[in-house]
Copies of this chain bind each other. A is one copy, B any other.
């Protein structure tokens, strides 16, 4: 790849990162190109589809989440580990409307590795007796979707209240809060389908 091409790629990523962050994933591509100071044709040269641009922008996030997961598993208190992990993910969502969108659309826990780590976090918290026994990994989508919605609604007007929403949600996940649930959980494939047909 030629030097100027690489440079333009950087400019585009920088512009996309910033526009995604405060307007979400649906910013017009032309605006990204304009912000980067580059023509729309160049954008299409570097990133033939929007998905490729999005992936490039958020590439680092999967490592961040994996790291978050590992740090959580390293904590002594399994419940605190779970809380730290979920809080960490939500903080990423709250810091970036684009990532917030992405989390809703499901690319969040896309890798098999991330999936396995999350499963361990949950099982460990259940074994410790702190997390209620009747929830599954798929139920965590509810907390992601829920907090994402609150983040989106309050992003400009009350940034940070999502922590209150999350706290209430977590209180509902404690074993001591458990009351019988009315419906079976989503199957993994339902959860996957639900994430992929949002856009």
Contacts and interface: CB of A to CB of B under 8 A. Distances in A.
B164 A142 contact: yes
Nearest to A138: B161
A136 to B, nearest CB: 10
Contacts of A168: 135, 139, 142, 169, 172-173, 181
Interface string A144-181: 01111110111011101101110111111110111101
- The interface residues of chain A, by DSSP majority, are classed as helix
Contact of A198 (B152, B172, B195): B152
A141 B165 CA distance: 9
A145 B161 CA distance: 13
Contacts of A165: 139, 142, 145-146
A178 B164 CA distance: 12
User: 7 closest A-B pairs (Cβ-Cβ)?
Assistant: A172-B172, A146-B146, A177-B177, A149-B149, A171-B172, A145-B149, A142-B165
16 contacts: A141-B153, A142-B146, A142-B165, A153-B194, A153-B195, A154-B194, A157-B197, A161-B186, A163-B182, A164-B182, A164-B185, A167-B182, A172-B177, A174-B179, A176-B176, A176-B177
Interface of A: 104, 135, 139, 141-142, 145-150, 152-154, 156-158, 160-161, 163-165, 167-174, 176-179, 181-186, 190, 193-195, 197-198
